[in-house]
Amino acid sequence: MKKFIFSFIFLFFFIMESTFVHLVKFTFVPEELILVPRIVFLIIAFITAYVGQTYGLIYAMVFGLLYDIVYTEVIGIYLFAFTLFSYLLAKTLKVLHGNVLVIIFLSIISIALLEFLIYGIQLLISSYLMTLHEFTNLRLLPTLALNSVLAILLIYPFKKFLTELRNEQNDD
């Protein structure tokens, strides 16, 4: 039952991610800065860390494809990126202890790599006019700051819920 509830919660956050920037206005942030919330990827990272690699990869593939269908013209970019970084996160967590700070740190590193991958693909397939310096200062750093705050706010409720979900699955 919790799996179905979680899927609807995840879908809610998927929808809220696109409206977050329009609903939440940061008056202290200059308008030229681009804030990209990666709530969906943060939740995929939390699933990978607290439930397991298999569920993380499944959610990464499903929501990566959904992300491609809704937000991009090229199918497969986010499908590949979400799945790749979820897999790498799972393999890294096998080596490192999976406490909250490590998971937040690895999630933010994964988001940085995701942003660079998307930037590189945009450079290859379109006439993306943003230089690397502009990308770093105007998009990457503000995005990492926003997602760091979001990760800190979301990790404890999701940790509790996902740990209960994993325990429920182990009982079945």
pLDDT digits (tens, 9 = 90+) for 140-161: 999 999 999 999 999 999 999 9
Rounded CA separation 2/4 (Å) = 5
Two structure tokens written together for 149? 């705050």
pLDDT at 63: 94
DSSP string, 124-170: HHS-----HHHIIIIIIHHHHHHHHHHHHHHHHHHHHHHHHHHHHHH
Give 128 or 7, the one with higher predicted confidence.
7
Q: Which residues, including other chains, have CB under 8 Å from residue 73's CB and lie 6 or more apart?
A: none
Confidence bin at 172 (pLDDT 50/70/90)? low
pLDDT of 70 higher than 80: yes
- 119 with 135: CB under 8 angstroms? yes
pLDDT digits (tens, 9 = 90+) for 74-113: 889 999 999 999 999 999 999 998 899 999 999 999 999 9
Confidence bin at 171 (pLDDT 50/70/90)? confident
Quick one: CA torsion of 62, 60, 17, 26, rounded to 10 degrees?
-170
pLDDT at 46: 96
Residue spans of alpha helices (H) in the chain = 2-23, 39-50, 53-71, 77-95, 100-125, 132-134, 141-171
Rounded CA separation 65/6 (Å) = 18
pLDDT of 128 higher than 70: no
Summarize the confidence of residues 4-22 as an average pLDDT. 86
Q: Is 58 helix (H, G, I), strand (E, B) or coil?
A: helix
Rounded CA separation 133/149 (Å) = 23
pTM of the entire structure?
A: 0.92
